[in-house]
Chain A
Amino acid sequence: MAQEQVGQFGINHVSILDKDGNVDEKLASGFTKEQISEMYYYLNLLRKFDEKLFNLQRSGKIGTYAQTRGQEASEIGSGLALKENDWFVPSFRELGIYLTRGTPKNLLVQAWNGDTRALGNPNHTHNLSLSIPIASQCVHATGIAWASKIKKEKDVTIVYFGEGATSEGDFHEAMNFAAVFNLPIVFFCQRNGWSISTPTNKEMKTETIAQKAIAYGFKGIQVDGNDVLAVNKVTSQAIEKARSGDGPTLIESITYRMGDHTTSDDSLKYRSQEEINEWKLKDPVVRFEKYVTKNNILSEEEKNNMHQTIEKEINEAVEQGLGVEKPDPAQMFEDVFAKMPEMLQEQKEELLAELEIIKNQEEEE
């Protein structure tokens, strides 16, 4: 019997910006002031917009909301690495990517208020709508990337999911298909520590998530997900690798869900305030603020201007998003089949008759 090692694998972890705002000069040197400024704007926009949406839910103005707080660098860093024609396939906690993709903010307010009209963006057909079932979007993204390859188009697909998704069969099937057909796709795992109340170590026993890529035959890499520079660099590299025909990458972005799972959750039931406090010290937005201030990359005036713009944009978006007329109830029949089947037409007429009765009753009262 002979025994020999037939494979040897390792996983790299990338970080550029530490929690105190100090950078690895060599790795940070590639970023222009324009890029830094853009990151600063989006990080702060996301933080403030997320806070606003949370508050709107608390005051009963929108429905259940899934906060992004804590994951700003992970989202903005990766979102800014995409080209306009690249495909963005979200799960449901990627508010930041919608922002970097230029989705009108009023539509995002409207969408979190349960209004179908705000879903889907006719001006940007390469952004998918939220996908709430866990991991299923990974397979759709794989199909999208596959079509790009078959059509010989150069678009890359990026798909987002949390670490809980890696427990699902769909994650496995997507990773395997992407590998077998060498597809132009980036699997972006936002490892935020918690799947509602289940911590990462109860989702899996592997040391890293990135190593799972090795089992499928492509590269996995781990990045400090609270470091916008590192996330941007790693994602850009993965996207360009995919674009040049060298296949998929799995990115494990280590971050932390500072808020509850959604506004319907109370995370103190299953995690400690101490843990949350510990992660506050690694806050991605604060960290970047320290960096740009310490290195005088942005002046106080430049920063203030951006904060004012952000506030104005958010206020306008909320006003517009909440101010829209209520949707026409009969509209729900329109968006199911290309041409409404006769049986649905009949049911639509039943609804219209019902609305007429309600209207008459209200007039009598």
Chain B
Amino acid sequence: MVKMHMVSALNSALNIAMKENDNVVILGEDVGVDGGVFRVTENLQETYGEERVIDTPLAEAGIVGCSIGMSLNGLKPIAEIQFSGFSYQAFHHIKQHMARIRQRTNNTMSCPMVLRAPCSGGIRALEHHSESPESFFIHCQGIRVIMPAGPYDAKGLMLAAIKSEDPVIFLEPKKIYRSFKEDVPEEGYEIELDKANVRKEGNDLTMISWGAMTRLCEETIEELEKDNISVEHIDLRTLWPLDIKTLVESVNKTKKCIIVQEATRTCSLSSEISAQINERCVLNLEAPIQRVTSWDLPFPQFALENYFLPNKTRIKNAVKKVLEF
């Protein structure tokens, strides 16, 4: 075990995958010599050469479209979009091709690849650098969407994503890239995809979160525990396909649920989780499900981002609402 932050954990995963499999290639803007603007791909070009760690022209559709072609022709591309806010220029390729090729070819072709993108806010970044776009990708039927909540999960999920036979969108919350370290094995390991992680068992309510919100939830739960509130905390790990069974099991036990997401509210993953839990647990629910989210607004300039993003106060209010209902 080594103490790693998420950037080093991801770098370690990519290094292991490239060492194990010659067909793994990394491509994107500034991923080679520079090692990526967040250094996730640092030193990989030095080790594996320019043909496998490729600095591309500045063109998101080109990066994703070419990765689709590479994947069709037997490589395992790991493409980086420098910030998820720029992934929309490649959205057409994600939605209409990456997600559909298996169906379009009657299962004779598929497009296993990983599309990595730093996402989400909280680091005082410039406009378009802070969004949480997971719902768009979840709505592209045919791709898997993953968002890790810390270094250990990031490495294990990345190695599993690279082995996946389907395309994966791997969203990396920038705020927790370097904000804390965890014990991470130096060797390779995989975390099962499509399975949520019960991080803490509890009895009074179920709190569901993912990405950077999981850390915020944990800090909030510590404070709630001082008031003797017992929270069962579940991190999704894989956002889609959703591990609804684990969520339902927990809500049937605690009978109360709040969902904490960094993305905006309407038509979001929290909307879907809320609907699914209502469909399956309505007779066990003792309070309406509460959603803690960002507001339904374009992400503001960073001077106001702390008022836009969920915070402990917003979470505690939701907890109070379900407990006092």
* Chain A contact residues, CB within 8 Å of chain B: 87, 116-122, 125, 128-129, 131, 133, 136, 138-148, 150-151, 169-170, 173-174, 176-177, 180-181, 332, 334-339, 341-344
- Chain B 13-32 per-residue mask, 1 if CB under 8 angstroms from chain A, else 0: 00000000001010000000
Does the CB pair B66–A150 fall under 8 Å?
Answer: no
In the assembled complex, the Cα of A338 lies from the Cα of B104 at a distance in Å of 14
CB distance from B182 to the nearest CB of A (A): 28
Does the CB pair A139–B65 fall under 8 Å?
Answer: yes
Contact of A335 among B56, B92, B106 (CB under 8 A): B106
Residue of A nearest to B142 (CB): A336
Does the CB pair A338–B93 fall under 8 Å?
Answer: no
Residue of A nearest to B238 (CB): A341
A117-B106, A121-B108, A136-B96 known; A170 vs B65 contact (CB < 8 Å)? yes
In the assembled complex, the Cα of A143 lies from the Cα of B77 at a distance in Å of 10
A139-B61, A174-B65 known; A87 vs B73 contact (CB < 8 Å)? yes
Point out the residues of chain B lying under 8 angstroms from A150, CB to CB.
Answer: 25, 51-52, 70, 75
In the assembled complex, the Cα of A121 lies from the Cα of B109 at a distance in Å of 9
In the assembled complex, the Cα of A336 lies from the Cα of B240 at a distance in Å of 13
Does the CB pair B69–A144 fall under 8 Å?
Answer: yes
Does the CB pair A341–B75 fall under 8 Å?
Answer: no
Does the CB pair B194–A341 fall under 8 Å?
Answer: yes
Point out the residues of chain B lying under 8 angstroms from A336, CB to CB.
Answer: 102-103, 141-142
Residue of A nearest to B143 (CB): A337
Stretch at the interface among B147-155, B204-212, B241-249, B263-271: B241-249
Question: Given A140-B66, A336-B141, 11 other A-B contacts at CB below 8 A?
Answer: A120-B104, A121-B108, A129-B105, A140-B97, A143-B66, A146-B66, A146-B69, A173-B61, A177-B56, A338-B102, A342-B244
Residue of B nearest to A132 (CB): B96
Does the CB pair B241–A342 fall under 8 Å?
Answer: yes
Point out the residues of chain A lying under 8 angstroms from B97, CB to CB.
Answer: 131, 133, 136, 140
Interface residues of B in 137-183 (CB under 8 A from A): 141-142, 144, 164-166
A177-B62, A336-B141, A343-B244 known; A139 vs B69 contact (CB < 8 Å)? yes
Contact of B241 among A116, A334, A341 (CB under 8 A): A341
Point out the residues of chain A lying under 8 angstroms from B165, CB to CB.
Answer: 338-339
Contact of B70 among A119, A129, A144 (CB under 8 A): A144
In the assembled complex, the Cα of A29 lies from the Cα of B289 at a distance in Å of 79
What 4 pairs between A and B have smallest CB-CB spacing? Answer: A143-B69, A139-B65, A120-B105, A341-B241
A120-B105, A336-B103, A341-B241 known; A173 vs B73 contact (CB < 8 Å)? no
Does the CB pair B56–A122 fall under 8 Å?
Answer: no
CB distance from B246 to the nearest CB of A (A): 11
Sampled A-B contacts (18; CB under 8 Å): A116-B106, A119-B105, A120-B104, A120-B106, A128-B72, A128-B109, A131-B97, A139-B65, A139-B69, A142-B65, A143-B72, A143-B77, A144-B73, A147-B72, A173-B57, A336-B102, A338-B102, A342-B194
Does the CB pair A143–B107 fall under 8 Å?
Answer: no
Contact of B57 among A138, A180, A334, A335 (CB under 8 A): A180
- Total number of A-B contacts with CB less than 8 angstroms? 140
Contact of B75 among A140, A141, A147, A176 (CB under 8 A): A147
CB distance from B108 to the nearest CB of A (A): 4
Residue of A nearest to B25 (CB): A150
A125-B109, A136-B97, A170-B61 known; A148 vs B73 contact (CB < 8 Å)? yes
Contact of B72 among A116, A144, A169, A337 (CB under 8 A): A144
* Chain B contact residues, CB within 8 Å of chain A: 23, 25, 51-52, 54, 56-57, 59, 61-62, 65-75, 77, 92-93, 96-97, 102-110, 141-142, 144, 164-166, 194, 241-242, 244-245
Point out the residues of chain A lying under 8 angstroms from B242, CB to CB.
Answer: 343
In the assembled complex, the Cα of A129 lies from the Cα of B109 at a distance in Å of 10
- Among B56, B65, B70, B97, residue most surrounded by chain A Cβ atoms (within 10 Å): B65
CB distance from A177 to the nearest CB of B (A): 5
Point out the residues of chain B lying under 8 angstroms from A140, CB to CB.
Answer: 65-66, 68-69, 72, 97
Residue of A nearest to B101 (CB): A129
In the assembled complex, the Cα of A99 lies from the Cα of B67 at a distance in Å of 28
Point out the residues of chain B lying under 8 angstroms from A119, CB to CB.
Answer: 104-106
Point out the residues of chain B lying under 8 angstroms from A118, CB to CB.
Answer: 106
Does the CB pair B104–A129 fall under 8 Å?
Answer: yes
Point out the residues of chain A lying under 8 angstroms from B96, CB to CB.
Answer: 133, 136
CB distance from B242 to the nearest CB of A (A): 6
Does the CB pair A151–B74 fall under 8 Å?
Answer: yes
Residue of B nearest to A176 (CB): B57
Does the CB pair A338–B65 fall under 8 Å?
Answer: no
Residue of B nearest to A180 (CB): B57
Point out the residues of chain A lying under 8 angstroms from B66, CB to CB.
Answer: 139-140, 142-143, 146, 177
Point out the residues of chain B lying under 8 angstroms from A170, CB to CB.
Answer: 61-62, 65, 92
CB distance from A281 to the nearest CB of B (A): 39
CB distance from A282 to the nearest CB of B (A): 35
Point out the residues of chain A lying under 8 angstroms from B25, CB to CB.
Answer: 150
A136-B92, A139-B66, A151-B74 known; A334 vs B107 contact (CB < 8 Å)? yes
Contact of A139 among B23, B93, B241 (CB under 8 A): B93
In the assembled complex, the Cα of A334 lies from the Cα of B61 at a distance in Å of 28
Residue of B nearest to A116 (CB): B106
Residue of A nearest to B55 (CB): A180
A119-B105, A338-B110 known; A173 vs B62 contact (CB < 8 Å)? yes
Does the CB pair B92–A147 fall under 8 Å?
Answer: no
